[in-house]
Amino acid sequence: MSLVAGVQLASLRLLCFLWSHWPVFVCIWLLYAAAVAVHRLTLHPLAGFPGPRLAGASYCYEFWFDVVLGGRYTREIASLHQRYGPIVRINPDELHCNDAGFVDSVYPHGRGRRNKSRHYLAAIPWGLRLSGVGTADHDHHRLRRAAINKYFSRSQVVRNESLIHRNAQRLCDKIVQHRRRGPFEAMAAYSCFTADVLTSYCFGHSLGNLDQPGWQPAFKGTIDNMTGVFYLSRHLPQLARVADWIPLSLVQRLSSQIGSLLELIQVTIPRLVKLAKMATDSDCSGKSRPTVIQALLESDLPSSEKTLTRLTSEANAVVLGGTHTVSTVLTVLTYHLLANPAQLSRLRSELQTVVGDATNLPPWTTLEQLPYLSAVILEGLRLMYGIASRISVVSPDQDLPFLASWRPSSASEEVDVCYTIPRGYAIGMSAYIMHSDPKLFPNASRFLPDRWLNEHGQRSRILERYLLSFSRGNRQCLGMQLAYCELYITTAALALRVLPWLSLYQTTIDDVEYDHDQLIAMPKRGSKGVRVAVH
């Protein structure tokens, strides 16, 4: 008998054996699963924390709400806190906290190492895994962030502020020129603006979206179509890697929107990274300011951190994250200011005290001194949420003591709650839950900029410590200062030059209000976004 025939015969016998004994293997698997569940509920370090038994025993509870029901676990976690208290076990290896006073313990500034949870990172798209956003280890993240931290500092943003002014005015010009051409989606317009700003800032070369006819790329529809796989890949981690193997040409045939985004990630941004790298290597860039890629290449990072793949991953994270954040806030503000003309009128009146020519705005440092403009932007950030679902971190070196008061629904008085969160296990907080807390933000679903002002109409910073739109602590959003600069300048330009001549088109509160999440906040399914018409 030949070797091949022998192998085939042995394989056939093995298959026959497995088929004839499948009930035995099923029983063994069930016994193993039961033993794991019993261990998680009795001997596991998190066994003493409150929460549904199924959530503590298995990831099936989370899978049901996030994958089967589609991004509903954050809402379920909010209801679990009402039943179980401020600390809840939400899966076998993770806790969730809704106590605002514990924010700085979960996400500390400067002190205390925090690794990102591996389970959390499994939902991050594969193309972002080598970026700072996708880095689990605290020290590794610190190394990567230090290389470009200075480039996103407030002073550096101020130095390059003219880039934002220029693109904000081009955005307004293009919207005004859209008069009588029918309605368009606000998010698409704002995505063009933010993508152009970020690519210019990162690479020294703009994508030129504002120079093209129409509003492309339409990021909202693309993100809506793609985010459905994020939570599935959290439970099936290899799914993200398999998706990377699908040819771009095939994806473009199946979905032009997803194909456009993948082309940006896999073709356009790598090309811009190569151009920036070539300019740095040849020392002939001719730029008065360094780009993000140049800053990375000229840093003290080891050579393994300067490969094209790593640089592209970092660039993707900056461009995609920054584009979504700013464009979503501007979309939320557009809806609410158009739906509340009195608020828009008040904002315009305040802006006119410092703006003589709407096409030549004062600097960011002047605009941020305006209290009502600041309040409008902060309220937009609150209702945008950033990463709406939890951001889970692990304290590797120390236990975290927790002490708070809580009143159960069945009790008339508050009770003290005391726990010790063991080192090595994940705990997270959710922007949606924090920003919807009626104790912090009464009438939380309403757009009320005045909540950010004191009785004298001046900016009050009391509530800002509870704003998680950019996260908090050592892992706070790298581009926060750049985002604020974009928001102040663009909101001012839109309020003075564009919004008075816009009207909502077949758009309701359901098109901006949180319904579920896929890492980011999502409106009700079927929403066509905030659509506006120029008149």
| Residues near 331 by beta carbon (within 8 Å), at least 6 away in sequence | 186, 187, 190, 512, 529, 530
Q: Specify the higher pLDDT residue, 484 or 323.
A: 484
The backbone torsions φ and ψ at residue 406, rounded to the nearest 5 degrees and listed phi first, read -150, 140
What does the pLDDT look like over 413-439, one tens digit per residue? Answer: 888 999 999 999 999 999 999 999 999
Percent of the chain scored above 70 by pLDDT?
A: 90
CA proximity to 468, closest of 423, 425, 436, 427:
436
Partnered with residue 142 across adjacent β-strands are none
CA proximity to 319, closest of 248, 250, 217, 226:
217
User: Which position has the token pair 């090595």?
Assistant: 424
User: Which position has the token pair 């193309």?
Assistant: 127
Instruction: Name the average pLDDT for the chain.
Output: 88
Note if the bond before 217 is cis, omega within 30 degrees. yes
The CA dihedral of 51, 54, 57, 60, to the nearest 10 degrees, is -120
3-state class of 312 per DSSP? helix
- Confidence check: pLDDT of 261 > 60: yes
What does the pLDDT look like over 83-110, one tens digit per residue? Answer: 999 999 999 999 999 999 999 999 998 7
| Residues near 532 by beta carbon (within 8 Å), at least 6 away in sequence | 183, 184, 186, 334, 338, 502, 503, 504, 505, 507
Vertex 466 angle, CA 47 and 235, to 5°: 45
What does the pLDDT look like over 196-242, one tens digit per residue? Answer: 999 999 888 888 899 988 887 655 555 655 656 778 888 887 776 77
Contact 326, 487 (CB under 8 A): yes
CATH class for the domain made up of 107-386+436-534: mainly alpha
Contact 518, 227 (CB under 8 A): yes
Contact 149, 478 (CB under 8 A): yes
* Every domain range in the chain assigned CATH 1.10.630.10: 107-386+436-534
The confidence score (pLDDT) of residue 287 equals 52
What's the rounded Cα separation, in Å, for the pair 306 and 298?
A: 9
Among left, alpha and beta (phi > 0; psi -120 to 50; other), residue 425 is: beta
Residue 6: pLDDT band (50, 70, 90) is low
pTM flag (> 0.75): yes
Per the annotation, does 477 bind a ligand? yes
What's the whole-number mean pLDDT along residues 50-62? 96
Burial class (CB in 10 A: 0-12, 13-18, 19+), 143: middle
CA proximity to 474, closest of 142, 135, 152, 143:
142
Partnered with residue 429 across adjacent β-strands are 391
What's the rounded Cα separation, in Å, for the pair 444 and 379?
A: 10
Residue 286: pLDDT band (50, 70, 90) is low
Vertex 156 angle, CA 264 and 286, to 5°: 65
Q: How many CA atoms lie within 13 A of 90 on its CB side?
A: 34
